[in-house]
Amino acid sequence: MSFASCDPRAAWLMRLGDTTLVLGHRMTEWLSRAPTLEEDIALANLGLDLIGQTRLFYTRACELEGGARDETDLAYRRAEPDYRNPLLVEQPNGNFADTMARHLIFAGFATPLYQRLAASCDAETAGIATRSARETTYHLRHAGEWMIRLGDGTDESHERAQAALDDLWPYVPELFEADDLDRAVAASGFGVDPSTLRDDFDAAVDDVLARARLAKPAEPRGQRGGKAGRHSEHLGHILAELQYLQRAYPDARW
């Protein structure tokens, strides 16, 4: 079975699903390890939101393809180069500041993306985006509040928050790079050109950084390749864990 979609709409939705799947799995790695019990529950809920978005994106992509495969095929039966998520979401959790900085960046990008996608010419996709936008708006607020607490807290928490931003900022430019697929779905009214989202991202993130007394890192050349299937060494380890049960017991039914 080929895992490349010939339908650009399906391929683009799969890209969104890959992003939320990988980040959702990363968030589940915090279960029982968060700094407080309340935050343990909060991070679990963030992960569940992301996995829920994944299922919706994948399911709609499969419908647009004609139903030859399903969400299980997309999540568990593809090789590493078939995933088209940006490199940001596969980066390790690190310490709590690293995770919150990564999530601030992701939510600052995803929230305006979903808000604009809610105007998609495809009613099903528009509905998924409307729901997802409500969730990521909360994610943005949650991550922002934590970055403010860390940045405007102790000397150590400030240093960790700033170091997290500095380490992750090279992955920001890839989020806003548009390729032929992005441009095609945007031109058709189905999807969104990510290059049009940068001003919204900057407005949201800059406000948080100012309140957190954190310096916005200089814009680097950036790390890229995820949208073309070229990933960091981390994705292979994620997929080995994520796909283990499905590969050990193929076609199992519960």
Distance CA 91, CA 232 (A): 8
Name which of 56, 44, 72 is nearest 132 in CA terms. 56
Instruction: Please report, for residues 59, 74, 99, 109, the alpha-carbon distance to residue 68 in angstroms, rounded to integers and kept in the order given.
Output: 11, 11, 36, 31
According to the model, what pLDDT value does residue 254 have? 56
**Cα atoms found within 13 Å of the Cα of residue 165, Cβ hemisphere only:** 24
According to the model, what pLDDT value does residue 250 have? 83
Q: What are the structural domains, with CATH classification, of the chain? A: 8-248 (1.20.1260.10)
Three-class SS of the chain? CCCCCCCHHHHHHHHHHHHHHHHHHHHHCCCCCCCCHHHHHHHHHHHHHHHHHHHHHHHHHHHHHCCCCCHHHHHHCCCHHHCCCCHHHHCCCCCHHHHHHHHHHHHHHHHHHHHHHCCCCCHHHHHHHHHHHHHHHHHHHHHHHHHHHHHCCCHHHHHHHHHHHHHHHHHHHHHCCCCHHHHHHHHCCCCCCHHHCHHHHHHHHHHHHHHHCCCCCCCCCCCCCHHHCCCCHHHHHHHHHHCHHHHHCCCCCC
According to the model, what pLDDT value does residue 2 have? 44
According to the model, what pLDDT value does residue 52 have? 97
Tens digit of pLDDT for each residue in 173-208?
Answer: 999 999 999 999 999 999 999 999 999 999 999 999
The residues, any chain, with a CB within 8 Å of residue 76's CB and separated by 6 or more, are 242, 243, 246, 247
Low-confidence ranges of the chain (pLDDT < 70): 1-5, 253-254
Cα angle vertex 128, ends 207, 247, to 5°? 105
The residues, any chain, with a CB within 8 Å of residue 145's CB and separated by 6 or more, are none
